[in-house]
């Protein structure tokens, strides 16, 4: 999988999925779901899917970690990241498990 900027101009399957899941995530937070529980659910689903479609369980980790690394790098270089649009962000010191 190539790199994606996850901007609105890219309509590849990965960026389309991110946009749709981002909207669903925003809805969950708006409805009062806890951010740590939403994050746990999203990673659980990604892992579950990877294990279901991959012959090698270890093959899912590079995909998951690449997404984490890309989002982190993007956040570090973007002070106006759309992550800030999440209204119910984790409070200071809260552990994301």
Do the Cβ atoms of 70 and 3 come closer than 8 Å?
yes
The residue count for binding Zn ion (CB under 5 A) is 4
12 binds Zn ion (CB under 5 A): yes
Q: Does 15 bind Zn ion (CB under 5 A)?
A: yes
The whole-angstrom separation of Cα 11 and Cα 77 is: 22
Comparing CB distances to Zn ion, the nearer of 14 and 28 is 14
| Shortest distance, position 9 Cβ to Zn ion, whole Å | 9
> How many CA within 13 A on the CB side of residue 8?
1
Residue 63 Cβ vs Zn ion, minimum distance, rounded to whole Å: 14
CB 64 within 8 A of CB 47: yes
10 binds Zn ion (CB under 5 A): yes
Closer of 12 and 83 to Zn ion (Cβ):
12
Q: Contact residues for Zn ion (CB under 5 A)?
A: 4, 10, 12, 15
């Amino acid at each position: 999988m190539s790199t994606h900027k996850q901007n609105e101009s890219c309509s590849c399957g990965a960026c389309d999925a991110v946009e749709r899941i981002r909207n669903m995530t925003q809805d969950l937070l708006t409805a009062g779901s806890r951010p740590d529980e939403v994050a746990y659910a999203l990673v659980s689903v990604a892992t579950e899917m990877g294990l279901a479609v991959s012959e090698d369980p270890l093959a899912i980790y590079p995909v998951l970690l690449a997404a984490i690394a890309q989002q982190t790098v993007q956040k570090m270089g973007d002070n106006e990241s759309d992550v800030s649009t999440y209204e119910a962000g984790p409070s200071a010191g809260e552990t994301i498990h």
